[in-house]
Amino acid sequence: MESRVGLTRATIMLSVGMALSGTAGLFSVSSGQPTFNVVFFRCLFGALALIGWLSLKGGLKSLFSIERKLWPLVLGSGICLVLNWLTLFEAFHRTSIGFATIIYHLQPFWIVLAGGLLLGEALSRHKIGWICLAFLGLVLTILPKLGDVQTNRNWLIGVGLALVASLFYAATTLTTRAVKGVKPDVLSAVHCLIGCIAFLPFLNVATLQSGYAPVWGWLIGLGVIHTGIVYVLLYSAYPRVPTTVIAAASFLNPAAALLSDFFVFDRSVTAMQAVGLALILLAGLGVNLGWPFIFGQRRALSQKS
């Protein structure tokens, strides 16, 4: 009974964390600030929130106990993470929150390809099939806009930035896996501090001075909610729920992003784009859960029986 209650609580934490993470674009765009400013303050307020969390847990000393040999990987993963935020937030401005978020969900496929090509991991025909389906979805999402590229190159640049963001996130995941013995909340706090240092020279103070009061609400929310609270919720839930629950809950992220687009910014997608985006999400689910592509294995099993 206790384990069931614990699983339910962890599932709720995971679901809330995923849904909240899907509204990061809403906070970014609504702030009205340049992308460099948005990322800098996400890092600043996110670092403060995570350091506060570590202090409450009595784990603040962990920030200063990372082994020296791990620092190249910590720095590399941190730089990839903040560049991922930079390119994704810029993609939000150039395309739309929902559209960029779902393009961004190509990240699992880069990880699978990198594992197969660089790390020698098995790359099965089923994984290759899901990857091909995801890129078919990408083609379908772009096709309706190709005629507008001459007059709206901004949109195509936004798609490219969302793809680059997914590559940076895949690189973050791969490098973070190699950082052994460092807790996720400690690593995230360090990553935010790296972002503060990296983006401080690009801070545009003039736009902050001319901005209106709610700007700070959006920026603080982006750091405290989407980097502090969301990360704590997700990292607390991940070890306590099965992979199937994580994969299902991950749909709440793009769902929240699309709802933000529709209800706040009155943006929608065409039928073809909807099919393409659905294929990307379906393929992501197939890769994460290890489904056989086109249910080939199930047919083979039924023939044997």
Helix residue spans in the chain (DSSP H)? 2-21, 24-30, 35-57, 71-94, 97-104, 107-117, 125-142, 153-177, 184-199, 205-210, 214-223, 230-237, 243-249, 252-264, 271-289, 296-304
| Tens digit of each residue's pLDDT (9 = 90 or more) over 131-170 | 888 888 888 877 776 666 556 788 889 989 999 999 999 9
**Could you give the CA distance from residue 53 to residue 34 in angstroms, rounded to a whole number?**
28
Mean pLDDT of 218-230: 95
* CA 220 to mean position of chain CA atoms: 19
pLDDT class for 300, splitting at 50, 70, 90? Answer: very low
The proportion of the chain whose per-residue pLDDT surpasses 90, expressed as a percent, equals: 41
* Alpha-carbon gap, residue 240 to 245, rounded angstroms: 10
Domain limits, the chain: 2-293
pLDDT in tens, 93-110: 998 898 888 889 888 788
pLDDT over 50 at 180, yes or no: yes
251-296 pLDDT, tens digit per residue, is 788 888 888 888 888 887 778 878 888 888 888 788 777 788 875 5
- The residue among 296 and 12 whose pLDDT is bigger is 12
